[in-house]
Amino acid sequence: MPVNLTEVARHAGVSLATASRVLNGSARSPAPDITERVKAAAEELGYVANAQAQALARSTTGLVGLVVHDIADPYFSAIAHGVQEVALQARHQVLLAGTDLGGEDGTPRSAELAAVTAFISYRTDAIILATSRFLEEDPVLAKNLERYIQNGGKVVTIGDTSIPGAKVLTVGNFDGARDLVDALVTSGLSRFVILSGPHERNTARSRVEGFTSALERRGLEPLVVVGGEFSSRGGFDATLECIDTLGIIAGAKSAESPLCILAANDVMALGAITALRSRGLQVPDDVQVAGFDDIPTLRDYSPGLSTYQLPLEEMGRLAAGLALAPESVLESRVTGAVVLRESAGTPTLAPDGA
């Protein structure tokens, strides 16, 4: 049978109200000797504080909910690390939920709704949505979050938002994709295919629009655009489709400029390289590849992947800062930098520290 607060108060020789003020964190603090006596009694009896009681006393649960797509994806794990760093500094704990396994109906949408509903029920102080938002927001999710905000909770989305009252960490996806293409064209490339990722995700769509905008400005257009999941498998399957559509054959030489695959994120790009190798094609000799994000694990791959480097951990820190900041702070923005490496036929060219 768990020890209750009444037993702690009796053991310490104080009132129940005094024991509650000490152990549940009330703004009214008893004298230091009484506080020490209550804490000693709680430790001796093995008392575990009631989180709900503490939340009522402090008007905060000290919890932040974070929703990501895939916990195993280095993109999301880097963001989560940054969120946790700031949350701990603010004496908050992070509750983490992934949507890749799907919810009741097996979809990421239902998984996200279930996670948000759970976070609201636990009365988290804030909810951070690190997943890319959808072209059409789930009306039930939006309504629940709107009500949560009205009741004093804070919501932060990374990338964009259509949720009334939510704060947003804007990411330069369009500009970054455009800058990456500009750098690749300047290096001598003129033939591109695009692995677009899921069209219903705003992040994927924005990056593809950046790719195509940069190509149009230079009088170019992609040879083919193929959709797929934001995953290594998605990049693998989309690349095989590109190879078959364009009739690319290992060992065949072309007088044209090398073909470059533009993937909407790094894990798709890594899947693309695996697919090319499965058909006997070498990177960068036969086909070149570029991704987006500069996930931390890229240092383990060869050839080095050309990409657009986002400050992923800093994005997590900024998102958590928005979540725990005063109401007046509503928005922040991050940009990155082009990093050209061997996968695009270029010696490593990276910003300092990359």
Please say whether the beta carbons of 309 and 336 come within 8 A.
Answer: yes
Name every residue whose Cβ is closer than 8 Å to that of residue 151 and which is 6 or more positions away in sequence: none
**Is 243 part of any domain?**
yes
102 in the same domain as 166 = yes
Residue 318 lies in a domain: no
Q: Which of 222, 178, 228, 191 shows the shortest CA–CA distance to 344?
A: 191
- Strands 154-159 and 126-129 come out as parallel
Instruction: Tell me the backbone φ, ψ of residue 309, rounded to 5 degrees.
Output: -85, 115
Per-residue confidence (pLDDT) for residue 304, from 0 to 100? 95
At 235-268, the pLDDT tens digits run 999 999 999 999 887 766 665 778 999 999 999 9
pLDDT on residue 134: 83
Whether residues 166 and 177 share a domain: the answer is: no
Residue 322 within a domain: no
Is 323 inside a domain boundary? no
pLDDT value of residue 68: 96
Tell me which residues of the chain have a pLDDT lower than 50: 349-350, 352-354
pLDDT digits (tens, 9 = 90+) for 283-335: 999 999 999 999 999 988 999 999 999 999 999 999 999 999 877 677 899 99
Angle, CA of 232, 238 and 240, to the nearest 5°: 105
CATH assignment of the domain containing 279: 3.40.50.2300
Same-domain check for residues 199 and 342: yes
In this structure, is residue 84 part of a structural domain? yes
Number of neighbours of residue 61 by Cβ within 10 angstroms: 18
The reply to whether 81 and 148 lie within a common domain is yes
One domain for residues 202 and 290: yes
DSSP assigned state of 258 = P
Residue 135 shares a structural domain with residue 186 = no
Instruction: Assess if residue 54 is contained within a domain.
Output: no
Do 89 and 11 share a structural domain? no
Same domain? 211 vs 191: yes
Task: Please give the pLDDT value at position 51.
Answer: 60
Torsion angles phi and psi, residue 59, rounded to 5: 60, 25
Cα separations in angstroms, 275 against 191, 265, 269: 19, 16, 10
The SS3 assignment for 170 reads strand
Q: Within this chain, do residues 44 and 78 fall inside the same structural domain, yes or no?
A: no
130 and 83 in a common domain: yes
114 plus 167 within the same structural domain? yes
Q: Which residues have CB under 8 Å from 273's CB, separation 6+?
A: 283, 289, 301, 305, 343
Same domain, 208 and 299: yes
Angle value at C-alpha 236, between 178 and 313, nearest 5 degrees: 55
Task: Name the residue range of residue 37's domain.
Answer: 5-49
Using a 10 angstrom Cβ sphere, with 0-12 exposed, 13-18 middle and 19 or more buried, the burial of residue 339 is buried
Query: What is the rounded end-to-end Cα distance, in angstroms, of the chain?
Result: 55
Helix extents (H) in 194-311:
202-217, 232-246, 266-278
The number of domains in the chain is 3
253 Rama class: left (phi>0) / alpha (psi -120 to 50) / beta: beta
**Does residue 74 lie in a domain region?**
yes
pTM: 0.82
